[in-house]
Amino acid sequence: MNDYASATVSDADARDLLESMVAIPSPTGEERAAAEYLRDFFRDHGREAWLDDVGNVRAPADDSVLLTSHVDTVPGDIPVRVETEGDEDVLWGRGSVDATGPLCAMAVAAVNAGVSFVGVVGEETDSRGARHLVDDREAPDAVVNGEPSGWDAVTLGYRGFLAGTYRVETDSAHTSRPEPNAIQQAMAWWHRVESAFDADATFESVTAKPVDVEGGTATDGLSVEATIDAQFRIPPGTDAAEVRETVEGELDGGTVDWRDPIPPVTVSPRSEVGRAFRVAIRRRGGDPRLLRKTGTSDMNLFAAAWDCPMATYGPGDSALDHAPDERLALSEFDRAVAVLEIVSDELQ
């Protein structure tokens, strides 16, 4: 422990924090109520805490390690309740796994161990909280990012992320005409894009996914318009420029407007953070597992900006991310808190 360690949070109080936070809706863009509740949790335990310019919860302390996870969740109304499944008490609710569970585990560990904490906003969309954070502060000595890995596993790699919107427009014409309209052009373009990537949804491949499609006759009746919002996951060894070049090479009319990319990341299992997690998980009776995930997290941005050891960790089964049956065993949450406290102590 150190001079920043505050009043100890009991296991019961930690579970109360988790259940209370899951019960506060916090879809991206609507995180403020949850962020304020979390800020007050730190203040109630003797820690300085505030919301920064973008809404991140900041609670600085011993910077030997920064524990950070995201406050926002995806939309979805899952009735919040605790049910007994076998011999486990299980908390149901949106965010219980992704990532209010990891967020609360980190908040409790940060109080008990006296280390720095940030709850960031916007991770599920543009990662504006993490982007602001790396611009607004120096690198800590180490980072533990919060996402579900399972209490006995550590995530060391994520694919990168690139999003863009394809737009095409054609003149209006009678539907009996043979020329393809904008909707047909958009469908044909997407088929070519999917075929360009031999994707099998593994960590080493680029995968392409349409997330929104719109099309129809323009309001003035003079043209047909179509748009496709698309997302691409990028493995290490490939960069966003290569993906953009491939996608734009399949254009036959139309344009693509790109958003800022997030680079892929792989970190060493032999870093100080990796070693601390192996020690902590074994001390709690687990056999440490090392993971690489096909998605993307804020760790990608932290690794690109900060030259320090890091990893991603948190309770929960990531197969339940964004799912209609999202739920977390409370005993797993308890174990994750204990692991994070040991890791924090090992890194101080």
Which two three-digit tokens encode residue 69? Answer: 């996870």
pLDDT of residue 202: 82
pLDDT of residue 5: 72
Query: In the predicted model, is pLDDT for residue 1 greater than 60?
Result: no
Please state, in angstroms and rounded to a whole number, the distance separating the CA atoms of residues 196 and 191.
9
Banded pLDDT at 162 (limits 50, 70, 90): very high
> Is the N-terminal amide bond of 218 cis, ω within 30° of 0?
no
Q: Tens of pLDDT along 236-270?
A: 999 999 999 999 999 999 999 999 999 999 999 99
- Catalytic residues, by residue number, are 72, 123
The answer to whether the Cα torsion of 326, 120, 160, 157 is positive or negative is negative
CA-wise closest residue to 100 among 20, 11, 6: 20
CA-wise closest residue to 254 among 165, 338, 328, 324: 165
Query: In the predicted model, is pLDDT for residue 2 greater than 80?
Result: no
The mean pLDDT value for 143-155 works out to 98
DSSP class per residue in 297-320: -THHHHHHH--S-EEEE-SS-GGG
Amino acid at 236: P
The CATH number, out of the four listed (3.90.550.10, 3.30.70.360, 3.90.25.10, 3.40.50.300), of the domain defined by the range 160-258 = 3.30.70.360
- Can you name the residues that pair with 266 across neighbouring β-strands? 157
CA-wise closest residue to 262 among 124, 166, 146: 124
Give the mean pLDDT of the chain.
96
Please state, in angstroms and rounded to a whole number, the distance separating the CA atoms of residues 74 and 204.
26
Amino acid at 166: Y
pLDDT of residue 6: 67
* CA distances in angstroms from 330 to 12, 141, 172, 316, listed in the order given: 10, 30, 58, 10
Contact (CB, 8 A) for 233 and 206: yes
The mean pLDDT value for 114-118 works out to 98
Q: Tens of pLDDT along 74-98?
A: 999 999 999 999 999 999 999 999 9
pLDDT of residue 199: 64
Contact (CB, 8 A) for 152 and 320: no
Query: In the predicted model, is pLDDT for residue 4 greater than 90?
Result: no
Backbone angles phi, psi at 124, to 5 degrees: -75, -10
The answer to whether the Cα torsion of 144, 337, 47, 73 is positive or negative is positive
Which two three-digit tokens encode residue 314? Answer: 């948190």
The mean pLDDT value for 270-289 works out to 98
Q: Tens of pLDDT along 323-342?
A: 999 999 999 999 999 999 99
Please state, in angstroms and rounded to a whole number, the distance separating the CA atoms of residues 275 and 5.
23
Contact (CB, 8 A) for 274 and 153: no
Q: Tens of pLDDT along 181-234?
A: 999 999 999 999 999 997 666 889 999 999 999 999 999 999 999 999 999 999
Start-to-end CA span in the chain (Å): 8
Q: Would the pTM count as exceeding 0.85?
A: yes
Largest CA distance in the chain: 77
Amino acid at 132: H
Cα dihedral: 244, 248, 250, 256 (round 10): 110
On whether the 11-158+264-347 domain is CATH 3.30.565.10, my answer is no
CB atoms within 10 A of CB 269: 16
Contact (CB, 8 A) for 252 and 189: yes
Domain ranges of the chain: 11-158+264-347, 160-258
Which two three-digit tokens encode residue 123? Answer: 């991770």
pLDDT of residue 347: 98
CB atoms within 10 A of CB 143: 24
Parallel, antiparallel or unpaired: strands 223-234 and 160-171: antiparallel
Q: Tens of pLDDT along 22-49?
A: 999 999 999 999 999 999 999 999 999 9
Cα dihedral: 8, 12, 14, 17 (round 10): -120
Contact (CB, 8 A) for 161 and 264: no
Q: Tens of pLDDT along 292-316?
A: 999 999 999 999 999 999 999 999 9
Query: In the predicted model, is pLDDT for residue 3 greater than 80?
Result: no
Banded pLDDT at 113 (limits 50, 70, 90): very high
